[in-house]
Structure 1
């Protein structure tokens, strides 16, 4: 399985995993000129923007650590664009989570980093 296929598979698993844990689906793979947000869901009244990461090898810091400051900035700008174009969510509190799959053996048990970074 190539890297892109593994990433999409991880996103699919994270989507279903988060819904199973009570979040309500809003959007997947939101794309604009500023970037992409993997998953967007509602956790009660909070709009959650989720970055999904998969790493088969922890040698380079693991999945969660791969969400760099630059990547966080792109996600935040993309989230702002989403809010500007989807007025029904503008009054919601927002949160940025990371779902990290660290190794192939942990594919069904991700690490969920709630409120992983802020505006």
Structure 2
């Protein structure tokens, strides 16, 4: 098993953790790591109350410098996500009449002894290494 050599491996696992949590809340995942010329949308979900949520996921380890990722959601980052969301809706007109919002999920990764997880590792085996620190609905308001 390869050890992750970048934060992108842990980021992907954090996104998977949040996707599973949202599904347990009744949401349907429409896209994961959706890419376009403006950037990437970590998660796009349809909530149980028929809202399209564009979810930015920040996964951090303990002792991070940016408040579990909250400080990394700058105005520039928000504009990129907004543009990507507009492009997503253009590509998926079936969702254009539903209300939309922008959420942020802050995930904490706790390193366990032994090998760290990789994206190939089942999230169910590593779930205890991730915890949802905060889920902010309408984070860009």
Is TM more than 0.5 here?
yes
Displacement of 1:30 in angstroms is: 0.9
Unaligned runs of 5+ in 2: 112-128
Bigger Cα Rg: 2
Residue of structure 2 aligned with 1:29, choices 33, 37, 52: 33
Residue 47 of structure 1 deviates from its aligned partner by 0.4
TM-score for both structures, normalised by structure 2: 0.77
Paired position in structure 2 for 1:84: 90
Count of aligned pairs between the two proteins: 118
Matching of residues 21-100 of structure 1 within 5 Å: 21-43=25-47, 44-56=49-61, 57-100=63-106
Between structures 1 and 2, the one with greater strand share: 1
Q: What's the TM-score once normalised by structure 1's chain length?
A: 0.90
Deviation (angstroms), 1:68: 1.1
SS of residue matched to 1:45: coil
CA RMSD of aligned residues (A): 1.7
- Structure 1: runs of 5 or more not aligned: none
Specify the alignment match of 2:131 in structure 1: 108
Is 1:10 aligned with 2:33? no
